Amino acid sequence: MEDKTLVCQDCGKEFIFTAGEQQFYKDKGFDNEPKRCKECREKRKAARRASREAAPAE
Ligand SMILES: [Zn+2]
């Protein structure tokens, strides 16, 4: 497997989907590729966490 260059859906920047990550996705049974770069994924994760803290689930 080879590293792939993908374009982030959020910021439009190119990012590398490494062979290791592709293997990880395959192991997990995901057949879609990541749509966002790591930075944007982290941002979304942080945003999700922040909104959960603002409105805690019971
Ligand atoms: Zn991005």
Contact 10, 36 (CB under 8 A): yes
For the chain, what is the mean pLDDT? 93
Residue type for position 50: A
pTM of the model: 0.74
Cβ burial of 22 (10 Å; 0-12, 13-18, 19+) is: middle
Residue 57 has pLDDT above 90, yes or no: no
Residue 51 has pLDDT above 80, yes or no: yes
The string of pLDDT tens digits covering residues 4-48 is 999 999 999 999 999 999 999 999 999 899 999 999 999 999 999
- Res 55: pLDDT: 72
Expressed in angstroms and rounded, the spacing between residue 4 Cα and the centre of ligand 1 is 15
- Helix or strand run (H / E) with residue 54: helix 38-54
Contact 19, 3 (CB under 8 A): yes
Expressed in angstroms and rounded, the spacing between residue 6 Cα and the centre of ligand 1 is 10
Expressed in angstroms and rounded, the spacing between residue 45 Cα and the centre of ligand 1 is 13
Residue type for position 55: A
For the chain, domain boundaries: 4-54
Expressed in angstroms and rounded, the spacing between residue 58 Cα and the centre of ligand 1 is 32
